[in-house]
Chains A and B, each alone.
Chain A
């Protein structure tokens, strides 16, 4: 469903009749736009629940995850680009159920003097003007045991190329145990033996966790050499500390 479709429908309600006329330019506007989709809720009987991908977002040619409430989309730094507003767009899916779309209000790259352009800083977040879902915070990021191979992991994103051809909704990889390991010499990353398609950058890596404690994101898709080697930026203490300044409303 496109944003225009959604708006067209909602415009039939009295609530936003007055603003519909202005919405048709959305696709043409180059500002960052975000669409989060809601997929089926399948729980039980499997190592992974699908609920978490309700909160995986499409950001232009990249992916992200909705964190800390409704407005903060965690993604890869390289998905933010040279500024917050030039990344587009939202329509890389088919059959999705939008939780909402929104334009970017500002973007933050979590990187500084010594790593402004390398993979350490390949992490950031967009803050949307409008809340993207009606849910509260659905997962939390945690630095612990991100590479614990006794845990299962799932790696999500919306591939804009490759096997999913950009038109299929976007759970992407289900990862069993023993397929993650430390990146030698650099604890800020972990590696796996999958490759990621373009478009999955910025998508979340979730770790199987005790459901009583909710969803736990432990990494962000960063790179792939297309040879069954892919890497993720670990959500470490630094990332958590920097994320703590992001808005929650």
Chain B
């Protein structure tokens, strides 16, 4: 082994010591800027005495662990911030996923502490190409900024651990209108912390948002997603705001909020929405299609909903064409399904038998109206409903014939897969119907990977 000279050793030691000292200073500086004040036993993020901070000081092993976490967090954060400048969407997305995984790998209290420290520090960075997007279980699948990302992570960590920090941070954010996206995720965090107790606050704050002119002028995705709070809290007064949005230009993103708002509100509060519309004739006066869709969602087996539907049909200010659309729509309503910040996607599980039963119930109600000669101007629509119900029954019969045939064929031809059963052919003299398509499918070239086909 080559001997190491004393000078070299000294330089080496000096360099190492220098590195350590510089590193320590850097950590201390960062800590002083970004961390809660643990030396005083106070958590500056909450203003409350922190038992967590005390715990950190009581055990040297834990303190070392904390510093390790701190350093690793800083390294991960540096990597993340660098990656967010990448032009590649996947690189940015993977970097965020890495940070999320890192936070989850930490003891929860550490992850919360570090997330809080970052949020308190004011550090932020826009994430190019990403908007506020909600995924399953109200988690964000896209984040418009670093702070929104950490607010989302903090909310999830606190939800899992039943901790108050995300709620406390949210209340701070809601004190001033800086970022609609941060408001949106904060409202979710509040709902997670106190599902029932926070409804009033969420209602007030969401209504504040929907009427804040600056945010209305250029609504961010977070702003739009926060409208879920109005549905979550059943804010009927928001129907007037939705109405205004519906009257906006086709390309205005708020227009979709109007459509989705009426649809989701009606899914959850059908009687209240219908009553509101009936008691306020100006509501949806210029939006006949939307109003018809609302009443098309009424459940004809619920007397309160039928009462509102009949009030609507009795109204003289509504054109019969719109009423016809509404009652025919009873057969096949439209719903929105999506992951909301506060509401689960609407569960829709109507079976084939359930659909048949629902249609029969609609037919029974229509029969009653006809017997009472209640809405003569809608007789044509009644006929169309009767025909549709009959066609539905015929379809059911056809399906039964088809299924019986298939089962019979498979029984007689053991080993034949269901998909290989020839189509049902009826013996008659009608022309060409069973002839396969005359034009063959074009040959698909069996190209090798990487080989290009000429245009």
Contact = CB atoms under 8 A, between A and B. Distances in A.
Interface of A: 1, 5-10, 12-13, 15-16, 19-23, 25-26, 28-32, 38-42, 46-48, 50-51, 54, 70-71, 80, 82-86, 95-118, 121, 127, 129-136, 138, 149-150, 152, 154, 168-169, 171, 174-179, 185-187, 193, 228, 237-238, 241-242, 245-247, 249
B437 A169 contact: yes
Interface pairs A-B: 4 shortest CB-CB? A22-B390, A116-B256, A112-B338, A1-B433
A156 B215 CA distance: 42
A85 B221 CA distance: 30
Nearest to A150: B449
B447 A129 contact: no
A12 B255 contact: no
22 contacts: A6-B398, A7-B394, A25-B384, A26-B387, A32-B332, A46-B443, A51-B419, A84-B333, A95-B432, A112-B134, A115-B256, A117-B259, A127-B348, A129-B352, A168-B439, A169-B439, A177-B447, A177-B453, A238-B339, A242-B338, A245-B337, A249-B351
A98 B436 CA distance: 11
Contact of A138 (B256, B260, B329, B419): B419
A128 B102 CA distance: 46
Given A177-B453, A185-B129, A31 B388 contact: yes
A226 B450 CA distance: 26
Nearest to A17: B397
Nearest to A26: B391
A5 B136 CA distance: 46
B419 A54 contact: yes
B345 A129 contact: no
A245 B347 contact: yes
A82 B437 contact: no
A139 to B, nearest CB: 11
B290 to A, nearest CB: 8
Nearest to B135: A238
A134 B332 contact: no
Nearest to A243: B337
Contacts of A169: 437, 439
B: contact size bracket = 35 or more
A78 B350 CA distance: 23
Given A104-B332, A116-B259, A129-B356, A179 B453 contact: yes
Contacts of B338: 110-113, 121, 242
Contacts of B292: 83
B328 A30 contact: yes
Interface of B: 89-90, 93, 129, 131-136, 141, 221, 224-225, 227-228, 253, 255-257, 259-260, 289, 292-293, 296, 325, 328-329, 331-340, 345, 347-352, 355-356, 358-359, 383-384, 386-388, 390-403, 405-406, 418-421, 423, 426, 428, 430, 432-439, 441-453, 455
A70 B325 CA distance: 27
A157 to B, nearest CB: 14
Contact of A85 (B225, B332, B335, B351): B332
A46 B260 contact: no
B255 A117 contact: yes
Contacts of B93: 187
B322 to A, nearest CB: 12
Given A12-B428, A19-B393, A245-B348, A114 B133 contact: yes
A95 B325 CA distance: 33
Task: Count chain A CB atoms within 10 A of each CB in B332, B384, B421 and give the residue with the most.
Answer: B332
Nearest to B129: A185
Contact of B436 (A39, A106, A133): A39
A30 to B, nearest CB: 7
Contacts of B453: 176-179
Contact of B331 (A85, A133, A185): A85
A247 to B, nearest CB: 6
B423 A99 contact: yes
Contacts of A106: 332-335, 348, 350, 355
Contacts of B225: 112-114
Contacts of B257: 113, 116
Contact of A113 (B332, B340, B435, B450): B340
B337 A108 contact: yes
A82 B289 CA distance: 7
Contacts of B439: 168-169
Contact of B435 (A42, A85, A95, A152): A95
Nearest to B395: A130
Most chain B CB inside 10 Å of its own CB: which residue of A96, A114, A171, A245:
A114
A20 B452 contact: no
A169 B451 CA distance: 30
Contacts of B445: 47, 176
Nearest to A1: B433
* Residue of B132, B406, B434 ringed by the most chain A CB atoms within 10 A: B434
Contact of B428 (A9, A103, A247): A9
B256 A134 contact: no
Contacts of A245: 337, 345, 347-349
B332 A228 contact: no
A100 B395 contact: yes
Contacts of A23: 390-391, 394
B450 A150 contact: yes
